[in-house]
Amino acid sequence: MSAIVPYIRRDFLRWGRGRVAVVSTLVMPAAWLIFVGLALPIRFTDNYLDFITPGILVMTMLSAGLAGGTLLMFDKILGFMNKFLALPAPRENILFGKILFASGRGILQATIILAIAILIGASVYSPLQYAVTYLILFLFGILVAAFATTVALYLDDHDSLSAFNTMITMPLFFTSSALMPYDVMPPWLRPIASVNPLSFAIDAVRAVDAGMMPSVQIAALGLLSAGVIGICIHVFRRTTV
């Protein structure tokens, strides 16, 4: 970790200096909580805010994870990547730093969104439930950040990566179980939502909120994250050597 921390610290310092960027990343999730969670007259649940909050938390982690690929792309474009590769530390630490930074930033943003949700009426759960929820969000953030970093290694310019992120973000969100349960979805949407990775994480968080322990989902997220990280390392070695 001693060789990875400087990469994480560098990205956190750069992120903290951009105050507009810090605030802007919270605007959309907070707007979803307020204008959708409180305003829509939903009849399939007594507290729609409790239902939608896990989806907003996972969406926050998705946005933060995808930004990890953007950071790597900028380092490639601006020439920092070549300087990092010349350092004596293992090259993979560059990837680990980006992935851990993106996941850590997502956790901070999700904490603020969760606090807003509680302030406007979401239920308060036990410390253990919140701890397991954070574990699920962190594993999901690792998975998305590793995937985004792998994509950034394949692409050559920021515009292509930005277009890719835009292309997948909203379709993934709207075809997940974030906004409605499976039994009220249109029949054509249910099979799509059931295999959507966002639904996998959202359903796990909802299970925790209901007092269950989603051990299978947590183990699966951990294995998927490890697998994608392995692919990312393989691609990184091939594209930089």
Helix, strand, or coil here: 76? helix
Which residues have a Cβ under 8 Å from the Cβ of 101 and sit 6 or more positions away?
7, 8, 11, 12, 15, 68, 71
Token pair for residue 48? Answer: 């729609």
Distance between CA atoms of residues 86 and 190, nearest Å? 49
- Confidence class of residue 6 from pLDDT cuts 50, 70 and 90? confident
Q: Which of 202, 201, 233, 205 is nearest to 93 (CA)?
A: 233
Please report the pLDDT score of residue 132 as a whole number: 94
pLDDT of 207 > 60? The answer is yes
Q: Cβ(54)–Cβ(205) under 8 Å?
A: yes
Token pair for residue 64? Answer: 């933060």
Mean pLDDT taken over the chain: 84
Phi and psi at 152, nearest 5°, equal: -65, -30
Higher pLDDT, 126 or 30: 126
Q: How many CB atoms lie within 10 A of CB 131?
A: 10
Phi and psi at 187, nearest 5°, equal: -55, -35
Token pair for residue 28? Answer: 């959309």
